Structure 1
Amino acid sequence: MKISRAAKAPLWLLPAVFSPCFIASASAADEQTMVVTATPGTVSELDTPAAVSVVSGEDLRHAAPRVNLSENLGSVPGLQIQNRQNYAQDLQLSMRGFGSRSTYGVRGIRMYVDGIPATMPDGQGYTSNFDLNSIDSVEVLRGPFSALYGNASGGVIDVKTETGAQPPKIEAGTWYGSYGSVRYGLKATGATGDGTQAGDVDYSVSTTRFTTHGYRDHSGARKNLANAKLGVRLDDASKLTLIFNSVDIKANDPGGLSRDEWKENPRQSPRGDQYNTRKSTKQTQAGLRYDRALGENDDISVMAYAGERETVQYQSIPRAPQLNPTHPGGVIDLTRHYQGIDSRWTHRGDLGDVPFSFTTGLNYENLIEKRKGYENFSMVNGAPVFGEKGSLRRDERNLMWNVDPYLQTSWQLTDKLSLDAGVRYSNIWFDSNDHYVTGRNGDDSGEANYHKWLPAGSLKYALTDAWNVYVSAGRGFETPTINELSYRAGGINGLNLDLKPSTSDTVEIGSKTRIGNGLLTAALFQTDTDNEIVTDTSSGGRTTYKNAGKTRRQGVELGLDQQFGDAWKLKAAWTYLNATYRTDVCNGDVNCNGNRMPGIARNMVYASMGYEPETGWYAGGDVRYMSSIMADDENTAKAPSYTTVGLNTGYKVKKGNWMLDVFGRVDNLFDRDYVGSVIVNEGNGRYYEPAPGRNYGVGAAVTYSFE
C-alpha cells in the first residue's frame, strides 16, 4: 500500500475493532473508481489486498423501498442476505457460510454503524437499526483479514451514514407497497464552513417510520427509526463527532412452516395465531469519536459508545413442557446494556527506502444482560390462554466482556510488491449469576473464558497499473453467544457451558482488474474450521447449539461493477460455495460426514442492468438465482432453487432548488412460489419461511437545496 505524505488531516479510520479499515469516498482523479481508506493511507478498491466490496448509499436507495438491507445488496459476492418476511427475527445474513446457523439476528459476522458495533461482544448482531435513508456507504469485507476484527468475524459489514455538507438539504420521501406496506421519512443534512476551520459544524439527521400488514398471516409490523450525526471541527488538526441512533419495533412472528403447510398455503401462520407469537424491541445508543493528527506522520483516534436494548418475545411453546420445574417458560424478557471504547495510534515512516506504517490500539467491550423467563399463558376457567405473560420461570444476570490489543503493519517492499500483516489477541469472559433458585430448579450460575491469537497477512503484486493479484491467510475465532449458552438440549435447565468456541483457518488468492470505468474481481478461498458451532435443536422459537467438529468451506467469487457511457450501469456477481461437514455431526444412526452444511446455497448469481441518468426517465432490471439450500444436518429436507426477476422505472426532475424523484417497481415478476429462508434444524420439521409472489411498490422523494 502506498503511503500518503500529503495528508495532514486525521484519517477517517473505520471505527471497528481492527484494520484494515475500509471507508468509501470518491476519487478526485476518477469518479468512476471507488476509493477506500485503509490504514495507513488512501488506496483504491483495486489496490486493497482483500476481498472487499463497497456499495454506495445512492445505489442502495435507487428505486427501492429503503426498508431492508437485502433490497440492493445482491451485487456483493459471497454475501447471502435474505428477507425472512418476519420483522420479529431480522434478516438472515451469512458470509461465505458464516452466520448460516442463525435462526434470528446475525451470527458470525461483525457489523458496525458509524463505528458503533451492531454486533454485541458475544457475537450476536442485529441489522434493525440500519437506516437506509441516511446511509453513505456499505463496505463488505470477506476473507482472512476479517479475523483482525476479533470475535465472530467470519466477515465484516461497516455501515457509514452521511456526513453533512454544504449546501444544506432537506428531503421528504414515501413508499407504498404490497401487503399494506408503507414507509415515510424525513432527512436533513448540512454544514457551516468547509469542514477545515475551527468551529465548522456538519450535521445529518434522519427519521423513518415503516408499517406493514405482512405477506403472511400474523406478520404485521411497525418500526420507528432515527439516526443523527453531528461533527465539530475543534481546530485544524482534530474533530469531534457525536452519533445517535434509536429504533423501536413491534412485530408479530409468523414462524416456520412444514413442507406440507408451505405447499398448502404459504401465507398461513397456524402457531402464530394460536400462541399470539410476537416480539417488541427498543434500542437506543450514542457514541463519541475523537480524531486528531499529531503531525504529518501520526494520527490518533478514540471511539466511545454506550447503548441499551430491550426485548420481549412471546414464543409458540405449549403449556405441557412448561410444567417441568426446570423449564424457563415461553416468554423471553431481556434488557441489555452495552458499552465500549476503541483507541488507536497510526504512524507512517520509512525504513531505509521502504515506506511502512503501523496501527496499534486497544479495544474494550462490555455487555450486561438481565434475562427473565415467564410462562406464555394464563389459566382462565381451567384452560390456558396463550400470548399472556404468566409466572416467572427464569431470572439471571449475564455478563460478557472483552479486552483486545491489536497491531497492524504495512510495507511497500518494492514499487510492485507490498506486505500487510496484523495480529490481535482476543480475550473474552462470560459470567452468569442465577437468581431463580427454587425447588428442583437449582443454581445454574457459571463462568467461562475464551482467548486466542488471531494473525493475518497478505502479499500483493501489481502486474500492471490496472491489475493486481494477492494471496492472504488468517485465523478466525468465534465464541458462543449468550443466547447460544442459554439453553441445553432436551429441555434441561441451565447454561450450555460445554459449548466450545470455533477456530477457522482461511487461505485466499485474489485478482482485481480495472476494465474501463469498471472493476472485475475474483477470489478463490478455503476455510477449515474446528469445533464449528451449529444448531442442535430448534423448536417453539427456542434453539440449542453444539460443536460439529470439523467443517470445510471452499469457493469462488466473481464480481463485476461496470459503467458504460454516462448513464448505463451493469453489476454482476457469482458465488460458488461448497460447505461440508468433515466429521459426523448428527445424532443417532445417521452419519452426516460429508453432508452439506444447512442454510448455505452452493450457487448464487446476481445481475442487474440499468439506465440511470442524473435527471429524466430511468429504468432497470435485475435477476437473482439461488440454488437449493439444505434445511437440516441430515440433508433430508431442503428449500428448492429459484430465480426471480425485478423491474423498476422512474423519473427525476430538477427545477431550481427542487428535485423530485418518482418511481415504481415490481419484484418476483413471474410470480415464482419459493422459500425465501429456512430455519436450520427446526425440531418439528417447520423449516420453511415462504417468500411473497409478485409484489409491487411505488415511491417518491422530494429534496430542497438551500443554495
Structure 2
Amino acid sequence: MDARTRQPLDGVTITAGATGQQIISDANGHFSLPAEGAAATLNFQLIGYTTRSVSVRLPYSETLLVSLQPSATNLSEVVVTGYEANRPLLETAGAISIVDSEVMQRFDESSLVRAVNTVPGVRMEERAPASYRISIRGSSLRSPYGVRNVKMYLDDVPLTEASGVTMLNMLDAGNIDRMEILKGPVGSMYGAGTGGAILLEPKRAAPGEHRLEVGATTGSYGFRRYAVTAATGGEKANALVQYTRQQYDGYREHTAMNRDVFLLSTQFHPTEKQTISAFLIYSDLFYQLPGALTQEQYNENPRQARGGMFGSVAQNATMNMDGVNVGLSHEYKLSSKWRNITSVYGLIRAQDHPFNTDYERNANQEYGARSRLAYTTRLGAAEAIFTVGGEYQRGFQVARTYDNNGGAVGAMRSDDELISETGLLFAQAEFKLPGNWLATAALSYNDTRYDITRLQQAAAGTDFQFVRDFNAVLSPRVALLKRLTNTISAHASVSAGYSPPTEEEILTSDGVLNQELEAEKGLNYEAGVRGLLLGGRLSFDVVGFSFRLNETIVSRQEVSSIAVFRNVGSTRQNGVETALAFTVVEEPAAALSLLKIWGSYTYNHFRFKEYQQGETVLSGNRLTGVAPHMATTGLDLATSPGFYLNLTANYVADIPLNDENTVFSDSFLILGARTGFRKPLGKNLTLDAFAGTENLTNQKYSLGNDLNAFGGRFFQPAADRNYYGGLSLRYTL
C-alpha cells in the first residue's frame, strides 16, 4: 500500500531474493509467494516509489502489510488528496500544486516562504520574522496581516480556526512534510473561502525507519536554528518526535524572534481496515514588530524601525503567543466499497500583544470535528465515488484591549467574550467514464455565526451583546477532465465561493464593532492542461482562470494605524499560471546523478470592476497588493559522490500599494543558492553539511507591504545579502 494514503498498490513487482521468483500485486494490492527455509527476503519495486526490502522469518502465515514511500515527482504517479479523490494529479480536475519535502529542503527551513513562492499563482510574504501572509490569486487584499481567506488543514484537521484566521506562525517549517495548494474557490469541500485551500501533512516516520537526527544552522543577523528528531516506524505503528528552536536578532531594528516548537506525530494500523493518525504541537512564539516605513525612511535607512511617539521601540510592539494544538483522525474501511474518515481536534492559546497604539491580551480555546463517508461502486460502464460529510468548529475567546503605556498595560478599553461557530455540509459525486473522461459535481452548505458579548467599554460603561449570523450559502462545483493520452490530461471547472468576514474584521483591534460588513461571494471559471513530454523528462502544468468577486472586502489603515474593513463592490480577476520542469540528467549511478531545470510564471490581470470611494471613482484600477507578473526559476544538481547545488531566482513586478494606484513598490529579482555535501559515513550515519546565501545580488526590496497605509507607511524592508550554513547528522538503526 501507499505509505501516505494507505491505498492498495496495483502492479508492484515482488521478487524473492534467494530464488528470484517474481509476482505482481493485484488491484487490491494482494500477493502471495511460496517460500522455504528459515527466512526470506522480499524486494518491492514500483515506478514512483522507493524500492524496499523486507525480511521475514519462516514459516509466515499472517498477512504481511508492506508500505511503499512515494519518491517521484512524475505527474503520472503523484497522488493528491484534494477534493477527496486520492487520485493521480493527472486525473484531478483542478488547479493544484504540490510543495513536497524535496522543494522545502532546497532552502534553509527557517520558514516556508521561499518554498511556497515556487508555486505559480501563490505569494507568501513575511512582514517581520514569523509574521506571515499568504495570497492565492490575489486574496491578500483583505489581509493586512496574518493568513486569511485561505482555508488550511493539518493532517485532515482544520488549522484555520472558527474565527477565520490561521496561526501558521505557530508551526516550524521543519514540521511539514508536504503541502497541497488548491487555488480558487474550494467551498464545495473545504468550507467558506474564496482564496483557496492548503492541505498540510506533518512529518512522520516511514515504515521500517528507525533514526535519530540532529541539526544546527547559523547565519547572518544572529540567525540560529536547532532541531532534534527521533523517529521509529513499523508496519503496525510509527511515531516521530521533533523539537526545534529558532532565534533571530533581526536585519531591522526591533525584529528579534524566538520560537520553540515540539511536535509529536503518530500513526497506528491496528487492523488492515483501520488507520489512526494523531499529532500534538506545542509552540511558544515571540517576535518584535518593527512597523512599516515611509518612502523617505525606506530610502534613508531601511534597517530602522517605525519611530515617533507611537514607534515600535517606544511602545515595545511585540507578539507573544503560546499554545497547544491536538488532532486525531480515524480512517475505517467498512468494506471494499465503504470508507469513513473522522477527525477531531482541540486547541488552547494565550496571547499577549503590546501594539503601537494599544495593548491586547487574549485567550482562545477551540474544538471541532470533520467526518466524511465515501462509497465506491459501478454504474454500468462508469466507476463512481460518492462522498458526503460535514465539519463543525466552535471557538471561544476572551479579548481585552488596554492603553499601551510604553509597552506596559494601561487603562482598559474593552473587555469582550467572543464565540465563533462555523459549519459545513458537503456532498460530491465523481464518475470515471468510458473514453478516459472524469466528471465531478459537488455542493456544500456553509454557515457562520459570531456572538460577541461586551462586558466593559470605557466610552459606554454598559454591557451589550452583538450577534452576527451570516446567511447560509450553497457553494457548488462542477468539473470535467479528459485523459488525452497516458501522459497528458485537460480539465475545466466552474466553482462558487463564499467567504464571511473573519472575527478580526468584525471586531478590530481598537475594540470597534464593524456591524455592516457582508460576506464575499465569487464565481470562478478555469481550464487547464498538464502532463509529460519527451519520455517523461518534461512536465508542464498550465491553467487559465477568470474570477468574479462581489462584495469585495478591502482594508485601510486609519490615523491610529488600526486596519478597518469594508465592502467596496466587485472585482474581476483573470490570470494564467504555468509550471515547467525539465530533467536533463537522472542517472543515480553516474557521477552527475541529477540535473533538473524548472520554473513557474504567473500573469495576473486583476482590476476593480465597481469601486467608488467618496467622490473618487476607482473602477478599473489595478487590484491592491497584486503584482501583474511573478516568476520563479531554479536549477538542481546532484552528484553520486554527494555534492549538490540548488539555485533559485524569484522575480516580482511592481505592486500597487493603495487602491488609488498612486503608490507602487518597485519590481525586484532575488537570487539564492544552496550547496552542500550529503554522504553516508559508515553503515548507520549520514552527514549533510551545507551553506547558502539569499538575496545574492543585494537587492533592496520590501516583502509584505502594508496596503492602504496611513501616513504613507507602506514599506516593510527585507534583508539585504545574507548567508547561512549548517549541518545535520542522521543515525539510522
Q: TM-score when scaled to structure 2?
A: 0.86
**What displacement does 1:562 show?**
3.3
Q: Measure, in 1, the Cα distance between the counterparts of 2:72 and 2:97.
A: 20
| Structure 1 gap segments, 5+ residues each | 10-23, 195-199, 318-329, 378-385
Mapped contact 1:131–1:227 kept (Cα < 8 A) = no
Aligned equivalent of 1:547, options 558, 567, 583: 567
Note closer, same or farther for the CA distance 1:263–1:388 as it changes in structure 2 (3 Å cut).
same
Quote the residue 1:654 is aligned against. 680
2:118–2:632 Cα contact (<8 Å) kept: yes
Question: Distance in 1 between the 2:537 and 2:298 partners?
Answer: 45
Q: Aligned pair in 2 of structure 1 residues 444, 604: CA closer, same or farther (>3 Å)?
A: farther
Amino acid at match of 1:592: L
Q: Which residue of 1 aligns with 2:199?
A: 158
Question: Which residue identity is paired with 1:627?
Answer: A
- CA separation of 1:215 and 1:30: change in aligned 2, threshold 3 A: closer
Structure 2 match to 1:326: none
Q: Is the 8 A contact 2:75 2:531 kept in 1?
A: no
Offset at 1:535? 0.4
Q: Is the 8 A contact 1:25 1:36 kept in 2?
A: no
Distance in 2, matches of 1:626 and 1:288, equals 40
Q: CA deviation at 1:413?
A: 2.1
Instruction: Please tell me whether residue 502 in structure 1 is matched to residue 520 in structure 2.
Output: yes
Q: 2:159 aligns with which of 118, 121, 135?
A: 118
- Indicate conservation of the 8 Å contact 2:561/2:709, yes or no: no
Deviates more, 1:288-297 or 1:557-566: 557-566
Aligned position for 1:603: 629
Query: 3-state SS of the aligned residue for 2:296?
Result: helix
Structure-2 separation of matches of 1:416 and 1:202? 38
Is the counterpart of residue 275 in structure 1 residue 310 in structure 2? Answer: no
Per the TM alignment, residue 91 of structure 1 is displaced from its structure 2 partner at its CA by 1.3
> Matched residues in 1 for 2:73 and 2:155: separation?
26
Structure 1 residues 160 and 177, CA, compared in 2 at 3 Å: closer, same or farther?
A: same
* Contact 1:33 1:517 (8 Å CA) reproduced: no
Structure 1 residue 342 displacement after superposition: 0.6
Aligned to 1:345: 373
Residue 295 (structure 2) aligned to one of 259, 272, 276: 259
Amino acid at match of 1:466: T
Q: Which residue of 1 aligns with 2:88?
A: 44
Asked if 1 retains the 8 angstrom alpha-carbon contact of 2:611 and 2:619, the reply is yes
Offset of 1:58 from its aligned partner? Answer: 2.9
Moved more, 410-419 or 254-263: 410-419
Counterpart Cα distance in 2 of 1:432 and 1:395: 10
Report the Cα distance in structure 1 between the residues aligned to 2:168 and 2:660, rounded to whole angstroms.
30
1:312 aligns with 2:332: no
Which 10-residue stretch deviates more, 330-339 or 121-130? 121-130
Distance 2:718 2:163 in 1: 30
**1:507, CA displacement in angstroms?**
0.3
Tell me, what secondary structure is at the counterpart of 1:234? coil
For 2:63, the equivalent position in structure 1 comes to: none
Q: Which residue of 1 aligns with 2:181?
A: 140
Q: Take 1:681 and 1:442, find their aligned partners in 2: how far apart are those partners? A: 34
Match of 1:381 in 2: none
Task: Name the CA shift for 1:648/1:396 in 2 (closer, same or farther; >3 Å).
Answer: same
Match of 1:374 among 402, 414, 418: 402
- 1:560 corresponding residue in structure 2: 580
Counterpart of 2:162, as a letter, is P
Q: Distance in 1 between matches of 2:70 and 2:559?
A: 48
Report the equivalent of 2:385.
357
2:340 matched residue in structure 1: 300
Q: Which amino acid aligns with 2:318?
A: R
Return closer, same or farther for 1:453/1:428 CA change in 2, 3 Å cut-off: same
The answer as to whether partners of 1:40 and 1:348 remain within 8 angstroms in 2 is no
* Contact residue 366 and residue 402 of structure 1 kept, 8 A: yes
Does 2:190 align with 1:190? Answer: no
Give the C-alpha shift of residue 255 in structure 1: 0.5
SS in 1 for 2:518: coil
TM-score normalized with structure 1 length? 0.89
Q: Quickly say closer, same or farther: Cα 1:541–1:333, change in 2 above 3 A.
A: farther
1:216 counterpart = 2:255: no
Distance 1:434 1:563, change over 3 A: same
- Partner-residue secondary structure (3-state), 1:678: coil
Question: Which of 712, 718, 722 is the equivalent residue of 1:685?
Answer: 712
What pairs with 1:393-542 in structure 2 (closer than 5 Å)? 393-437=413-457, 440-450=460-470, 451-487=472-508, 494-515=512-533, 516-538=536-558, 540-542=560-562
For the residues of structure 2 that align with 1:508 and 1:208, how far apart are their CA atoms?
40
Please, which of 276, 281, 286 is the counterpart of residue 250 of structure 1? 286
Confirm or deny that 1:703 pairs with 2:730: yes
- The offset of 1:438, in angstroms, is 5.5
Counterpart selection for 2:615 from 585, 589, 606? 589
1:482 and 1:126 map into 2 onto residues whose CA distance is 14
Q: What amino acid sits opposite 2:395 in the alignment?
A: L
What stretches of structure 2 of length at least 5 have no aligned partner?
A: 1-6, 11-25, 31-67, 587-593
User: How many residues were matched structurally?
Assistant: 658
CA distance in 2, matches of 1:548, 1:117: 30
Asked if 2 retains the 8 angstrom alpha-carbon contact of 1:146 and 1:154, the reply is no
Read off the aligned partner of 1:395 and give its amino acid letter: D
Indicate how the Cα distance of structure 1 residues 118 and 561 shifts in structure 2: closer, same or farther if over 3 A, else same: farther
The match for 1:34 among 70, 78, 98 is: 78
Decide which of 226, 235, 241 is 2:271's aligned counterpart: 235
Aligned-partner residue type, residue 519 of structure 2: P
The equivalent of 1:13 in structure 2 is: none
Deviation at 1:31, TM superposition (A): 9.6
1:621 correspondence with 2:647: yes
- Aligned residues of 1:205 and 1:228 also touching (Cα < 8 A): yes
Q: Given the alignment of the two structures, is residue 57 of structure 1 paired with residue 83 of structure 2, yes or no?
A: no
Answer with 1 or 2: which has the greater Rg. 2
Q: Distance in 2 between matches of 1:254 and 1:698?
A: 26
Identity between Structure 1 and Structure 2 (%): 25
Structure 1 residue 59: Cα displacement: 2.2
